[in-house]
Chain A
């Protein structure tokens, strides 16, 4: 049996039927990671000893008759989530030697559910990037074509799930960092409503935009994982009191009468024709399943990228000021005084993209520019949210492409930061508004690269998005396609 292709539900059945133990499952996947990770670079750290220990504990709990939905099931965390007494790098030289003194709430919750963490997944440095090439630990490669990027910033998570190294993984999404790599690697990922998933222990990039979420090979597995991740957390002041929900209950609701809006702005210039065609056939499929389709407008969506590149760097410049070389970070060795220590440690510890964004953020917040940039961008952010409010008065779900193109080649967009920023042109507005959105596979290019379709919902309509995606996946098999990988390649 190919354990690495099974869904969470199938794995759980296998554990309960004693087809295999949690320890055997863990050992199988650890072996697959050893065989395939050298060519994919999806993991920064493989926590083998801890994984074997928690698998043994899970087997003991299973033997006692415990029946948790996730007990004994393997997963891995994006290396942005702090894990007590294990390395947490955030993809940065700055945190190369950092051992977190505590675990993120998400890590605690999944561990308490009995999940077995296999390791920490590669990512763009401090989650800033759309190709996983800004990682200090080297780029991740796309399992569908190892010359292509997996997307980012949760590129390690997407590649690991697509390649069957883990059935599910956590990711985080500030401007598309769950959905864009999910689309480029042919998996399903949801950025929940802002406030659903605790940010405690999740290293901050842009606090008003960051949101953790699940990445998996189906909407059902996303729902299972989100069920355990989402909860009110008193340790995160932006955690919503109604964060928890039952994401499985409504999964099977039929789509009859579902009102789907298709935004004109998502199908204009710059959209790859193969992506446009695949997303259109995805929309046709929803119609076939009973949804009514109508055209809508999101007139301020074209301003989302500009708005984001004021607000996200501004918040980042503030959040990343804590990395000062004094307490737990890289420290420059050749320093003359304290100011020198800060300045050189920060230059040496951060990579070029992170430095660039800190500088942009510092600039837009500096004296004399605040009103022109920061305040203006906050006002446009209001307009973008208003667009969604108006749209959701008429439709239940908004559907469009997740990305303007399929996976691009390694190095293809590195010379021009703006071209990289535009990879998130369809995902960013969602973060600015704080609404939930999901990406799921809806086709392939002629060259065999996956294409993602994005579903956007109103605040706290996460369960509806999972429901629509699940029903779609009952009638289609794009999500069942698997890349062919051989150990020792590349």
Chain B
């Protein structure tokens, strides 16, 4: 297992995380240790074992598709870092 710096940069890109280059070697070392610990799982025989996604094997709960929420635009916008006219502001996407 080699969690090298390229793997860190690739993964940081997938996670949309602007990891500065000077942090990459240290993070690579830490992730390498974690993945080495996790590697131990490979030695466990699991042929034919059903993967467990969830503790309670419940059916997906369904309910009638009815409007239950009141309009909360004001409250929902209150924590926005940048907003105007009730809309979230972001940098220009289309030139």
B60 pairs with A310, CB closer than 8 A: no
The 8 A CB mask of A360-386 against B (1 = contact, 0 = none) is 101110100000110111111111010
Task: List the 8 closest pairs (A to B, CB-CB), nearest first.
Answer: A434-B55, A378-B51, A331-B81, A343-B18, A379-B46, A328-B79, A101-B75, A382-B52
Which chain A residues lie closer than 8 Å to B15 at the CB level?
317, 346, 358-359, 362
A358 pairs with B30, CB closer than 8 A: no
Determine which of B35, B37, B75, B92 lies in contact with A305 in the assembled complex, contact meaning CB atoms within 8 Å: B37
B67 close to A (CB within 8 Å): no
| Secondary structure class of chain A's binding surface, majority of residues | helix
Most chain A beta carbons < 10 A, residue from B53, B80, B81: B81
Determine which of A101, A335, A355 lies in contact with B72 in the assembled complex, contact meaning CB atoms within 8 Å: A101
Which chain B residues lie closer than 8 Å to A337 at the CB level?
91-93
A434 pairs with B56, CB closer than 8 A: yes
Give the distance in Å from the alpha carbon of A338 to the alpha carbon of B61 in the complex.
36
CB-contacts of B23-44 with A (<8 A): 27, 30-31, 33-35, 37-38, 40-42, 44
B31 pairs with A378, CB closer than 8 A: no
User: Number of A interface residues, CB 8 Å?
Assistant: 74
How near does chain A come to B2, taking the closest CB pair, in angstroms?
A: 13
CB-contacts of A306-338 with B (<8 A): 306-307, 309-310, 317, 321, 324-331, 335-338
Which chain B residues lie closer than 8 Å to A358 at the CB level?
15, 17
How near does chain A come to B68, taking the closest CB pair, in angstroms?
A: 8
Give the distance in Å from the alpha carbon of A327 to the alpha carbon of B80 in the complex.
5
A477 close to B (CB within 8 Å): no
Known contacts A335-B91, A346-B18; is-contact A383 B49 (Cβ 8 Å): yes
A362 pairs with B14, CB closer than 8 A: yes
Give the distance in Å from the alpha carbon of A377 to the alpha carbon of B42 in the complex.
9
A328 pairs with B52, CB closer than 8 A: no
Determine which of B14, B19, B33, B60 lies in contact with A237 in the assembled complex, contact meaning CB atoms within 8 Å: B60
A53 close to B (CB within 8 Å): no
